[in-house]
Structure 1
Amino acid sequence: MGQPMAEELQNVRTSMASILLLSEQQWIDWTEDENIPTELIPVIYKESVKYFPSVTLWKRYTEYLVQRFDEGDIDHKAVLEELATGAYLTSYRIPNSHLVWNIYRDFIARGLEDPEKKDDSISQLKLLYQARLGVPHSTLSETFSDYSTFITTYDNANYETELVKANKIYSAALKTLEVRDTWEISIKENDSLENYAAYIQWELSQPKKYQESKLVMALYERVLEKYPTSFAAIWDDYILYMSLMGVSTTEVLDLLRRATRACPKSGDLWGHKIRLLQILRDSPEDIDYVKESVDNIGFFKKPENYKEWKKVEIPWLHFLRRHFTDSSDEKRLEEFVLEAEVAFTRAISQGKDDTDFELEKFLISEWTLLEDKDQARTIWNRVSKYHGDLAEFWIQWAHWEKAHGDYQGVVDVFTKALTRNNIDWVERVLQEFTDYENAHGTFYSIQQALALCRGRLKYYQAQRQTVYDDSNKRAYEEFKPVEVIESRPLKTQKMDVDQPTELTVNIESTVSTTTPFNNAPKPRDREHNTVIVSNIHNISKEDLQKFFAECGEILEITINNGIATIEFKTDEGRLAALTKHLKDINGTQITVHSGQSTTLWVTNFPPSETEASLRKLFSDFGSVLSIRFPSLKFNTHRRFCYVQFASAEEALQAQQALNGKSLTSSSDQKSFDLVVKISDPSQKKERTGAVYEDRELFVKGIDFEKVTEAKLRELFEPFGPIERIKLPLSKTNERKGRLHDGYSFIVVKDAEAASRAVTALNGMEFEKRTIHVSIAAKNTNKPISKVVAAGNDDTPADSESIKARTVEVSNLADTINDTQVSDLFAKYGTVKRVVLRPEAGTASVEFTQVQDAGKAALALDGHELGGQALRVVSRGETKSSTMFVPRTTMRRAPLRKRRI
């Protein structure tokens, strides 16, 4: 490479290193560049470990220093200081810290060969070994063995004393290391971000007396070696942890210099940097320069990045105001006034969706500290135009007026709030208003306030009865359920694998059994009566039950991923629970948010999807608290579920991303377009269709050989238009040459026509047989579901052969469908058919090969599916009932005759 090009490359690298975090490989390439001037190499090495202090780079740097020492270019003291620094900074990197420490030790050990330095070197090495034995690292046992050899060689007279002392140190470190062995193995096998995050979380969850802050910080360094520029949140967590542990501001600031180079688009990191520079007022890095650096990053100027920009702007404005109040620097005050105006203008135009209105509140507090209350009120008024639908906004404004204004100012705020028709939690505003009036008002003003509040409350209650989300309503109205095969009831007699079961009809179906509306129990409303409680570490379900008991009747409390959902019987209970936000339980401050709009209604997914697969799909968008499937006891073809997130924002993001997404069934490769909607029980529609509208007739007793569809149509048409006629025909009856199975379903235009047909035709003689006509029952019988997976040749099979290749499954969750059962058992052989009985929690699985049934029974007995351990046995192992009732002795229900 020519000299000009080499210089240009050097300038580019220098420029990049000043604003961005170079990778480990980029530093290695730089130090290995033969065109780099010799005098710059140590500088580049030093910069590399300053901004990317990995074990690899420290090892290269220390080896380079030792080489330079051997060549006579560096003195002993300078090398020793750098080696000590490297060994210290990397000492808690469990897997490979020995690579640097060994170089440090060996360099000191050179003094053992010099009679003048030998005694000092022995003393230094003793202290070095003893310190190292107290640090958990992968070669701890070798270190102890090396120390034993060292003492034997250089201080054998005190061997026992030294080793006893060393063993005590070593044992404690070994115990610490062994506790982390599982985690270290896991990281070695898979150094994913998730594994590192779990490891760090485990470290932080340990009791304080067992926590090793240096190991935690080393873990952060290790994950940053792997993911240096990918996730700003890692840097942010690391910085806050160091601050919490009392690490010096200078060290934290050094980390921040690396962080802002790695993730220059993170407002959190730049904000930390400005705050820490204010603490170190003698820092050579000027705060103005930091703000100028941020202003030069185009990312922060884009409207969609308002929230990140806000995180930098707030500490910058705080610095300007604080600098003025501390030093009376008028120039800083002028800067603050101009910057505050610019910031507020941007907040109005780009921050309307920021429901925390953090920047606006900060500006109000700053103007209040500068004793300009008029300017603060101006901001309150302007913000009310776009955040006036938030109850929290009005309450905070009222509290500000209480502290900095007068009685009338507070009343004016509440009065203005009550002119709004869309406050998200108006009850809280009304309660605050009446509480304030009761404490500070006159009898007349209190009465006026109560009347105003009562009127507004009635208005909001009326609105809630009639207004709901239009878009969600349209989605429910437009959605057409997938067409499914109607499930059939299980016959009580022995099942013929080739003969279909008959649909039993309630002979009394024509008698009205309508329950009066007022006597019907109020349906459960999880979506509207639930709150979500976070930050519940060390808080049990019993603690939550006791704490929220006064709010109202609690139906259910569930805890998942450190977050609790509490369902109340009424909406009033939910509203009362929301007042517990930021209250303490057992010394821990909890957060309470409404559970509304956090639950998704999901349908039209492949039947093979399980809770685990759906959780994986939805977890990309946030914390999934629960997935609820419906019971299949009364309909084996129900295929939907409810997915609850920790926040409404996460649920909306998932809904927008996944609604309409195409999923492929693992069993038959069919494609399904996923339907995902925000769950709203108020929009649940009554079931529709002929059977639910009482216009489907069930006719039995029909002659197998004489009656055709045309004859039935001719018989029933006088009572009203016929939509369709169904005459089922089984394989068995087809082989016998029959026209049908002797019964029929007939759908007529309306319920009146159906009723007329029942009255006229039930019990009459038709083609020399008495037919029975009734309104078809709404599937009140116990359903089964039969899925045929393979080998269905519809030929009679030997019952013993079927029994030998069939397994019986029990303790099956009633949310598991037949496809999921088939997919599970198909791993052990070809499944011919699955018969599911969800009401009994059982299923029969028939294989094509006898040996496959045996393998499945052995492998899956005790297997967990749907949260329950399956009981799986070969049908040959099941005990048959010894009770047998001959068919001729069975009592038959008398046939109800039609009165003439």
Structure 2
Amino acid sequence: MEDAHDTTSRSKRPLDVDPSVAAISSSKKANETLTRNRELTTVLVENLPKSYNQNKVYKYFKDCGPILHVDIADSLEKSFRFARIEFTKYDGALAALTKTYKLVGQNEITVSHLVDCTLWMTNFPPNYTQREIRGLFKNLNVVILSIRLPSLRFNTNRRFAYIDVTSKEDANTCVEKLNDVEIQGYMLVTKISNPLERSKRTDSATLEGREIIIRNVNAELLDENTLKELFDQFGHIEKINIPAGQKEHSFNNCCAFITFEKKCYAEKALQMNKTMLHDREISVGLADKKPFLERKEVKRLLTLRNSKELESLTCLFPVSDKVSSSQIEEFLQEEIHVNKNQIEKVHLVSDFNGAIIIFRDEKLAAKMPMILNNSQFQGRMVRSGTINDMKKYHNNRNNNTVKDAKPSRINTMPRRPTHQIKDKSADKQEQMSNDDFRKMFLGK
């Protein structure tokens, strides 16, 4: 007797599947767990009344399905408005399409999928914010719907943006005008966003184990030709990278990175570890990922007990996880008038929504909390203090009991009066602005 299931399966006629549809379906399933396709869940609404804001658009389209985000932009002539609506599901976008040609006020709107209208831009100057990126499009007569920057929580070196415009033609114009344009010494890259054509990662050699780091190199021998002669015997070298500024700062312990064509070449080169390069023993190992090394250093600073090293640190908080260290450095230089050479390093501390700033001068670091406290940075008020102040402020916010973080350096800087004192000199001190404090402490 034949198996019933087998008979049933043979009696059913297989469906004819369009090869292109099948390919799209399989590709979609493969990428479904990795990324959500915004083009399938995002619509563009045109010809909305000028009075329509995010809230009104949200109310009008909320019956279509859960909405993730709404962006509003004026047309070039300011005669109507665009809306970019991102739904959580594809069904929501489909439902929104049914509202096309409906009247909203006196305006007949159109709703369409936002396809091939997203730009991917990278390699702009590190200090660029949304405002500067938007300024690049100022003379192109293009409407910008939204600009999305990446979170720097796990990798502070990420620097790219996704920009939505209103048409394919505008997107092509932007690529034509803004790709391979030099800005402040950086060659801008602008492309139509296509997840299937992702560029090769710049840290791919590190991830693939093809990059080595050589430490403890004598500054006089820090030369590309010298390193090539020494390591070329192990296999083809793709690139030699010598971090800038080592010779200028008279570092005794210099380092360099060498990228090989194959992983096995890099592994062979490890036999040079603890060998002599002229008069010095060098250290050779596989290069670690930069984000990993940076987070390792941040963790060390957060648990620091060395009071001498702590004296050169100041924290800035709260700071968005989309703010880069270069933007903080620019803020310190332009708004607080700190000399670039006075800043040793800026570390982002995303776990506590802040940043650790290391100064070369301990006296300047001691003054900074008073100067920085209650300053305006990127449209929000920021505070400053020690690492413990930053931790306390973050924990208080999480517990919904936000309190001002009081600076811990009680003996090193004056406190701001907490209550009214009738003494005239105290009244004058209360009236002093942040600029007055900066001039007083920085002598400017």
1-side partners of 2:56 and 2:132: how far apart?
Answer: 29
Mapped pair 1:521 → 2:41: no
1:811 positional shift: 1.6
1:156-555 equivalent positions in 2, closer than 5 A: 458=18, 460-461=20-21, 521-527=33-39, 529-534=41-46, 535=48, 537=52, 540=56, 543=59, 546-549=62-65
Q: For the Cα contact (< 8 Å) 1:857–1:874, is it kept in 2? A: no
Partner in structure 1 of residue 287 of structure 2: 776
Mapped pair 1:863 → 2:376: yes
1:624 positional shift: 2.2
CA 720–800 in structure 1, closer or farther in 2 if over 3 Å, else same: closer
Mapped pair 1:599 → 2:111: no
Partner in structure 1 of residue 317 of structure 2: 810
Equivalent of 1:676 in 185, 190, 195: 190
**1:793-835 Cα deviation digits (max 9, x unpaired):** xxxxxx989958x753122223223333233222332422263
Mapped pair 1:754 → 2:260: no
Partner in structure 1 of residue 427 of structure 2: none
Identity of matched residues, %: 27
Q: For the Cα contact (< 8 Å) 2:317–2:355, is it kept in 1? A: yes
1:728 positional shift: 7.8
CA 775–584 in structure 1, closer or farther in 2 if over 3 Å, else same: farther
One-letter amino acid of the counterpart of residue 63, structure 2: F
Partner in structure 2 of residue 417 of structure 1: none
**Structure 2 length as normaliser, TM-score?**
0.57
Q: For the Cα contact (< 8 Å) 1:547–1:585, is it kept in 2? A: no
Partner in structure 1 of residue 208 of structure 2: 693
Question: For 1:752, what is the secondary structure of its paired residue?
Answer: helix
**1:743-801 Cα deviation digits (max 9, x unpaired):** 7644333123334566xx49x8756x9998654333341538x9xxxxxxxxxxxx989
Mapped pair 1:623 → 2:143: yes
**1:553-601 Cα deviation digits (max 9, x unpaired):** x572223346443334666764554344235789997531221122222
Q: For the Cα contact (< 8 Å) 2:329–2:346, is it kept in 1? A: no
Partner in structure 1 of residue 345 of structure 2: 835
Q: For the Cα contact (< 8 Å) 2:71–2:146, is it kept in 1? A: no
CA 774–765 in structure 1, closer or farther in 2 if over 3 Å, else same: closer
1-side partners of 2:196 and 2:208: how far apart?
Answer: 21
2-side partners of 1:532 and 1:458: how far apart?
Answer: 29
1:875-894 equivalent positions in 2, closer than 5 A: 878-879=407-408
Equivalent of 1:844 in 341, 351, 357: 357
CA 853–698 in structure 1, closer or farther in 2 if over 3 Å, else same: closer
2-side partners of 1:574 and 1:853: how far apart?
Answer: 54
Question: For 2:18, what is the secondary structure of its paired residue?
Answer: helix
Q: Which runs of 5+ in 2 are unaligned?
A: 1-12, 74-80, 298-306, 390-405, 410-444
Partner in structure 2 of residue 282 of structure 1: none
Q: For the Cα contact (< 8 Å) 2:241–2:256, is it kept in 1? A: yes
2-side partners of 1:681 and 1:618: how far apart?
Answer: 23
- Of structures 1 and 2, the larger Rg is shown by 1
Q: For the Cα contact (< 8 Å) 1:861–1:873, is it kept in 2? A: no
CA 580–708 in structure 1, closer or farther in 2 if over 3 Å, else same: closer
CA 648–864 in structure 1, closer or farther in 2 if over 3 Å, else same: farther
Q: For the Cα contact (< 8 Å) 1:624–1:646, is it kept in 2? A: yes
Equivalent of 2:384 in 849, 872, 875: 872
Moved more, 832-841 or 809-818: 832-841
Question: For 1:600, what is the secondary structure of its paired residue?
Answer: strand
2-side partners of 1:715 and 1:639: how far apart?
Answer: 34
2-side partners of 1:541 and 1:609: how far apart?
Answer: 30
CA 868–698 in structure 1, closer or farther in 2 if over 3 Å, else same: same
CA 602–849 in structure 1, closer or farther in 2 if over 3 Å, else same: same
1:842 positional shift: 0.8
Structure with the bigger RCO (C-alpha within 8 Å, sep 6+) is 2
1-side partners of 2:326 and 2:179: how far apart?
Answer: 23
Question: For 2:205, what is the secondary structure of its paired residue?
Answer: coil
1:616 positional shift: 3.9
2-side partners of 1:576 and 1:863: how far apart?
Answer: 43
Question: For 1:838, what is the secondary structure of its paired residue?
Answer: strand
Question: For 1:522, what is the secondary structure of its paired residue?
Answer: coil
One-letter amino acid of the counterpart of residue 408, structure 2: K
1-side partners of 2:366 and 2:227: how far apart?
Answer: 46
Question: For 1:607, what is the secondary structure of its paired residue?
Answer: coil
**1:127-186 Cα deviation digits (max 9, x unpaired):** xxxxxxxxxxxxxxxxxxxxxxxxxxxxxxxxxxxxxxxxxxxxxxxxxxxxxxxxxxxx
CA 862–583 in structure 1, closer or farther in 2 if over 3 Å, else same: farther
RMSD: 5.4
2-side partners of 1:726 and 1:661: how far apart?
Answer: 24
**1:168-226 Cα deviation digits (max 9, x unpaired):** xxxxxxxxxxxxxxxxxxxxxxxxxxxxxxxxxxxxxxxxxxxxxxxxxxxxxxxxxxx
Q: For the Cα contact (< 8 Å) 1:558–1:564, is it kept in 2? A: yes
1-side partners of 2:408 and 2:236: how far apart?
Answer: 53
CA 582–460 in structure 1, closer or farther in 2 if over 3 Å, else same: farther
CA 756–572 in structure 1, closer or farther in 2 if over 3 Å, else same: farther
2-side partners of 1:604 and 1:730: how far apart?
Answer: 21
Equivalent of 1:556 in 68, 92, 97: 68
Equivalent of 1:823 in 317, 330, 333: 330
Q: Which runs of 5+ in 1 are unaligned?
A: 1-450, 467-516, 664-669, 787-798, 881-900
CA 656–555 in structure 1, closer or farther in 2 if over 3 Å, else same: same
Mapped pair 1:640 → 2:160: yes
**1:217-242 Cα deviation digits (max 9, x unpaired):** xxxxxxxxxxxxxxxxxxxxxxxxxx
Structure 1 or 2: more helix by fraction: 1
1-side partners of 2:22 and 2:144: how far apart?
Answer: 34
One-letter amino acid of the counterpart of residue 21, structure 2: Q
Question: For 2:332, what is the secondary structure of its paired residue?
Answer: helix
One-letter amino acid of the counterpart of residue 815, structure 1: K
2-side partners of 1:542 and 1:808: how far apart?
Answer: 39
**1:615-672 Cα deviation digits (max 9, x unpaired):** 2442552432222222334444443322222444444444444445554xxxxxx455
1-side partners of 2:130 and 2:226: how far apart?
Answer: 50
2-side partners of 1:773 and 1:851: how far apart?
Answer: 38
1:545 positional shift: 6.3
One-letter amino acid of the counterpart of residue 337, structure 2: G
One-letter amino acid of the counterpart of residue 329, structure 2: S
CA 570–864 in structure 1, closer or farther in 2 if over 3 Å, else same: same
Question: For 1:814, what is the secondary structure of its paired residue?
Answer: coil
2-side partners of 1:678 and 1:725: how far apart?
Answer: 32
Q: For the Cα contact (< 8 Å) 2:64–2:93, is it kept in 1? A: no
2-side partners of 1:708 and 1:858: how far apart?
Answer: 41
One-letter amino acid of the counterpart of residue 605, structure 1: F
